[in-house]
Chains A and B, each alone.
Chain A
Amino acid sequence: MTATMSALSVRNLVKRYGTVTAVDGLDLTVGAGECFGLLGPNGAGKTTTIEICEGLLTPDSGEVLVLGLDWKRDERALRQRLGVQLQETQLAEKVTVEETVRLFRSFYANGREVNEVINLVQLEEKRRARVGTLSGGQKQRLSVACALVGDPDLVFLDEPTTGLDPQSRRQLWDLVERLKKLGRTIVLTTHYMDEAERLCDRVAIVDHGRIIALGSPRELIRSLGAEQVVECALESADGITVDDLQALPGVLEALLVAASWTLQVNAAHETIPALLALVNARGAKLTELSTHSPTLEDVFVSLTGRHLREGG
């Protein structure tokens, strides 16, 4: 796919804040109709990247083409074709859902009917409710409604589910899936690996302003080569080293992350008995043991030696 055909194309993007390099030479290509995710921990540079793409920040260097257009030359035309949801916008509290959507609708030459968008985000019952009375999830869906009301070709969603309860998150996921069915191109950022895995056709894992892995969630997970991930926490295990664990049967990679061990394995049924035997032999104590199928989180851990979220 050439740069002019893609919905979004970013080349060698750099953005600095004083001594902090928020975005450090980032390249991206998003195809039309794709749901693309930027996955990374807090401070990775996701918001900075997406806001440069939205024309809200200017990069220090690099090239950004959105729908084949350039921000410097085609700002007015571009704004008509983009839908934007910012990470931290608070809509006016005293205004109702319908009034808010109507206001945003008025800025676009073409777009959806106000009621249609309200239905799409499932806020029919809250049509006449003031924004201040909405729950977090409802506010977020309203915020997405404002991004959709101009019937955009490309939608940017910055951490759409951060801070929401599980049920509200699922409602938002349903909404994004409806958008995908409508064939909209979506670029979203998240620090939830399950969200990226579930929603995105392709994911770029971002850390320190760079993309450290790129591909479909399945490709990324498969790249680990592991069938399973074993996590364990050991006590009084001074004698046990990375090499000891790495030497266990079936272990592809052993990592110590935030005081607990993560073993990527291709034969858990061989690794676990051997692990227990090792622990026993060294007089250590096993305080936690769990296994799961590999996720994007494990990809991130494997690449950075850190978890996506502290305590997550």
Chain B
Amino acid sequence: MVAPETPGTPGSPSARTRYSPLFELTRVRFLEFLREPEAVFWTFVFPILLATGLGIAFRSRSAEVVKIAVVASADGVRVRAALAADSLLDVALVSDSVASESLRMGTVALVVVPVSATSVEYRYDDARPDARNTRLLVDRAIQKAGGAYSPVATAETLVSEPGSRYVDFVVPGLLAMNLMGSGIWSIGFAIVDARRKKLLKRLVATPMRRGHYLASFLVMRIGLMVIEVSVISSFGHFVFGVPMRGPLLTFITVALFGTFAFGALGLLIASRARTVEAASGMMNVVMLPMWVASGVFFAASRFPDVVQPFVQALPLTAVVDALRLNMLQGAGFAGVASELAILAAWLVVAFTIALRLFRWR
């Protein structure tokens, strides 16, 4: 960007204020964006809300206490004492009918019916995963109290460290998704809207250089990308402790390559469309498969092997993978080279086709 030049000799036409076209075009781009409250919301606020929601929903919890019922009897009291030794079980001693009722209502996961001093019956719904887990816990406690012996000694290490939680997995995904959404949407929508309003045609009627017009989008995207990425990644880092283990320069390069590749895709989508409806339809066709397949919310490796080459070639997959490698596993340039190559390929191909197809009027 170049600031307005200052006047030369007074009196001559060149003495008048000179404005740089690229600067003015970029300025208008930013002003239009900032004066669109919805755009600001979807770009900056929405990813943070989403990260917060997911962070809370998938936060690491200490194991939950499960409620169970024991049918009251002489043996029942003994069984309860045995179970009370396990801190994960909340045991209530109730009548048979109350126990059955609670099971039906789902307020207890399992009912223990003491049959005799040496036998018990478990009543539970086999379809409930927590009921099956509860059965294992209850059985273990009862067998242990009955004198069962564990031949193999075990030790447990509980893992909940930054870098391996769901929020660590999802924040790079959200970052990548945001780069894609705002890149494709902001460029595509703005260009198609300008074409629909004949503003593009009006600009072409001036001496404006077409390259300046396209470059202004690039400059705007880079500027907004810096803000988007800083906001989301510092939110993840400072609120949820999401690590930033890799070199920052690699991180920035991945974000830049993503911005360029998605920007070129936005340009391609907008290259001929005359209505916003047609363009947003195409944007959804392009973005929806990537939202699903590129591993933003769950690992892309869950898709069958036959589709893996396609999934891996998607630009969103490349950005997601590269960001995760960088942030979580500390990868530098060498570690994300193949992802950067994929993004560069998308950039070159999409941009070349877009320039060929681009309709200025």
Contact = CB atoms under 8 A, between A and B. Distances in A.
Given A91-B199, A108-B207, A111-B16, A102 B24 contact: yes
What does DSSP make chain A's interface, helix, strand, loop or mixed? Answer: loop
B21 A110 contact: no
Contacts of A107: 21, 203, 206-208
Interface residues of A, number: 34
Contacts of B206: 79, 84, 104, 107-108, 150
B361 interface: yes
A20 interface: no
Nearest to A55: B205
A89 B198 contact: yes
Nearest to A146: B202
A54 B28 contact: no
Given A56-B204, A105-B19, A89 B31 contact: no
B13 A86 contact: no
Nearest to B22: A106
Contacts of B277: none
A102 B198 contact: no
Given A56-B361, A94-B35, A103-B25, A80 B199 contact: no
B17 interface: yes
B301 to A, nearest CB: 44
B3 to A, nearest CB: 12
Contact of A56 (B27, B197, B201): B201
B166 interface: no
Contacts of B27: 99, 103
Interface in A71-114: 76, 79-80, 82, 84, 86, 88-92, 94-95, 99, 102-114
What does DSSP make chain B's interface, helix, strand, loop or mixed? Answer: helix
Given A86-B205, A108-B206, A92 B24 contact: no
A99 B28 contact: yes
Nearest to A115: B17
B32 interface: yes
B208 A86 contact: no
B305 interface: no
Nearest to A132: B35
B207 A88 contact: no
B235 interface: no
Contact of A88 (B31, B194, B198, B208): B198
Contacts of A90: 197-199
Contacts of B204: 56
A106 B197 contact: no
Given A94-B35, A95-B32, A106 B198 contact: no
Interface string A136-162: 000000000010001100000000000
B23 A89 contact: no
B14 interface: yes
Nearest to A100: B28
Counting chain B CB atoms within 10 Å of each CB, the highest count among A54, A90, A94, A103 belongs to A103
Contacts of B13: 110-111, 151
Counting chain B CB atoms within 10 Å of each CB, the highest count among A84, A92, A112, A114 belongs to A92
Interface of A: 54-56, 76, 79-80, 82, 84, 86, 88-92, 94-95, 99, 102-114, 130, 146, 150-151
14 contacts: A79-B207, A86-B201, A91-B202, A92-B32, A94-B36, A95-B28, A106-B19, A106-B23, A107-B207, A108-B207, A110-B16, A114-B17, A150-B206, A150-B207
Given A86-B201, A89-B201, 12 more contacts: A56-B201, A76-B207, A89-B197, A89-B199, A90-B198, A91-B199, A91-B202, A106-B25, A107-B206, A110-B13, A130-B35, A146-B202
